[in-house]
Chains A and B, each alone.
Chain A
Amino acid sequence: MIHDLELSVLEILFNDSRTTPAQIAVMTGHGEEEIAAVIRSLEAQKIILKYPAMINWDRVEIDQVEAVIEVRVTPQRDEGFDAIAEQIYRFDEVSSVYLMSGAYDLMVTVKAPSMKRLALFVAEKLSTLDHVLSTATHFVLKKYKLEGVIFEERRKDERLVISP
């Protein structure tokens, strides 16, 4: 069972992973050592995996396309979906894999330098895997919001600078 303090630490780091243990200590009213220990423990438990930055790649001048692929598969005896999921997520081109309820089984996001390269990856690597029954590829055209962050926030702080 995760504690309130751990949840607070996670929330603060999720929001800004640069926040130091000293700052978190101030924000939560706990000791710096205690916070550092909480973070170490969360890392050890693989609850905190990494401290990445959230980047809007659309604003970076690089050749990259992204697609969401619906994959229908045959689950395997003893392994369920895990073995086939692993076969898919091991590819470098694959950035995320989710097991889904509904009309298909795995939702796979794939990144590649061009549409052609991406299509070839699906045709040659993904579709040809044993147990993959079908794929449906949807190219991402624009990202609006990711993990709660709106990419092009139009709203400025329009509040009066001084108010009673």
Chain B
Amino acid sequence: MNYDRVLCRRVRDVPPSGIRKFFDVVSTMKDAISLGVGEPDFTSQWTVNDAAIYSLKQGRTHYTANAGLMALREAVCDYLDGRFGVRYDPRSEIFITVGASEGIDLALRALVEPGDEVLMPDPSYVSYSPGVIFAGGVPRPVVTREEDDFRLTADALRAAITPRTKALILPYPNNPTGAVMGRGDLEALAQALRDTDIVVISDEIYAELTYGGQTHVSFAAIDGMRERTITLNGFSKAFAMTGWRMGYACAPAEMLRVMLKMHQYTILCAPTAGQYAALEALRVGRETDYAYVREMVRTYDRRRRIMLDAYGQMGLSCFEPRGAFYTFPCIRSTGLSSQEFAERLLFEQKVACVPGTAFGESGEGYVRCSYATATDKVVEAMERMKTFVGQFRKDQP
């Protein structure tokens, strides 16, 4: 069989993820400390696991409504209202997805006609650009810069808009840079979008993880933006539940209905046990004023500071990330490319990080170091990185 002829060219031509390539290299090193992990090192709370186990014991092994358990939809809507001041109707403006990733895919497929352009900050999470291509669209990366703290500026956005621009993916707090967008930053974007029909796909999966007094602002909470915003979020990062694959998509009913139609035909419903687990995570959160989340944030914050301090000692510049659990130091002063830096750091010091180029072309000159790793390992990794970077500093006059 000639697979070249049978496989869809559009999908086939998407290059494999740069992360994947590096993963294969790191996997061969047994005792490396990995700063390359994009998920919490915390595990989901036991009471959350127990709720899922109990649901199974109760025989709740059937489908739920396509949109998910009504109790969960109500709980998520109350949560979003209480935490971020955005109100959605649990009956018509939300459904439970298989991770926020499903939401990204559905949002793109609900919007994109062949040839439509979708804007996204660069560097960004690895799935956006392929997702756009799978949906038949054209990804249009918008370069964000360290001097702007990797925020998407209104000027850059305006310059990128064409008559074919259908949507903007707005992923803040950002993976890989750790950048956040404050209310003023978002209002400036809103101004640039106000007279257009561009839909904003706001991926807010890291919303709970912000530091230094910065709190997350939902794009849908910006005056006039709710009608054009698809808000995507989930339980993976906020409640350390990555493996549960529990997310949700919120949007005005007309947009949501189209996304839900695809969800109905392709997924039917998110896994039932996971929905009970998610419901428990929100219940405990509400009762304890999100003590579990706050404890994670405090711990992440300390590691974040350890890393930033270490970069200072190494002489690497790094803007202060205020969100997610990544630092994105600039490694140009070593004279190495991102790929070389990551490979040599791995082979010479057994510390794994991810080359910035895995997240887009403008990631060249940077590496992503995650602090979702035990504090003592972060400290040790920074010591090794200091040794590694030190050799390049000596070379300089």
- The answer to the question of B63 belonging to the interface, with a C-beta cut-off of 8 Å to chain A, is no
Q: Quick one: given A16-B376, A155-B43, A157-B41, are A162 and B305 in contact (CB under 8 Å)?
A: no
Q: Are A162 and B302 in contact (CB under 8 A)?
A: no
Q: Are A162 and B352 in contact (CB under 8 A)?
A: yes
Query: Can you list, as one digit per residue, whether each of A1-13 has a CB less than 8 Å from chain B (1) or not (0)?
Result: 0000000100110
Q: Which of B31-39, B257-265, B327-335 contacts A (4 or more CB under 8 A)?
A: B31-39
Give every chain B residue within 8 A of A159 (Cβ-Cβ): 37, 39, 41
- The answer to the question of B253 belonging to the interface, with a C-beta cut-off of 8 Å to chain A, is no
Query: Which residue of A is nearest B23, CB measured?
Result: A162
Query: Can you list, as one digit per residue, whether each of B156-199 has a CB less than 8 Å from chain A (1) or not (0)?
Result: 00000000000000000001000000000000000000000000
- The answer to the question of B309 belonging to the interface, with a C-beta cut-off of 8 Å to chain A, is yes
Q: Are B19 and A164 in contact (CB under 8 A)?
A: yes
Query: Which residue of A is nearest B354, CB measured?
Result: A162
Give every chain B residue within 8 A of A163 (Cβ-Cβ): 19, 23, 36-39
Give every chain A residue within 8 A of B38 (Cβ-Cβ): 163-164
Query: Can you list, as one digit per residue, whether each of B342-355 has a CB less than 8 Å from chain A (1) or not (0)?
Result: 00000000001010
- The answer to the question of A49 belonging to the interface, with a C-beta cut-off of 8 Å to chain B, is no
Give every chain B residue within 8 A of A26 (Cβ-Cβ): 305-306, 309
Q: Are A29 and B305 in contact (CB under 8 A)?
A: yes
- The answer to the question of A28 belonging to the interface, with a C-beta cut-off of 8 Å to chain B, is yes
Query: Which residue of A is nearest B25, CB measured?
Result: A162
**Which of A27, A155, A162, A164 contacts B127 (CB under 8 A)?**
A164
Give every chain B residue within 8 A of A162 (Cβ-Cβ): 19, 22-23, 26-27, 34, 36-37, 352, 354
- The answer to the question of B80 belonging to the interface, with a C-beta cut-off of 8 Å to chain A, is no
Query: Which residue of B is nearest A24, CB measured?
Result: B302
Shortest B213–chain A CB gap in Å is 11
- Give CA–CA (A159, B27) in the complex, Å: 12
Give every chain B residue within 8 A of A161 (Cβ-Cβ): 23, 26-27, 32, 34, 36-37, 352
What are some 30 contacts across the A-B interface (CB < 8 A)?
A8-B298, A11-B298, A12-B302, A16-B375, A23-B379, A26-B306, A26-B309, A27-B305, A28-B302, A28-B305, A155-B43, A157-B41, A159-B37, A160-B37, A161-B26, A161-B27, A161-B36, A162-B19, A162-B22, A162-B26, A162-B36, A162-B352, A163-B19, A163-B37, A163-B39, A164-B19, A164-B125, A164-B126, A164-B127, A164-B358
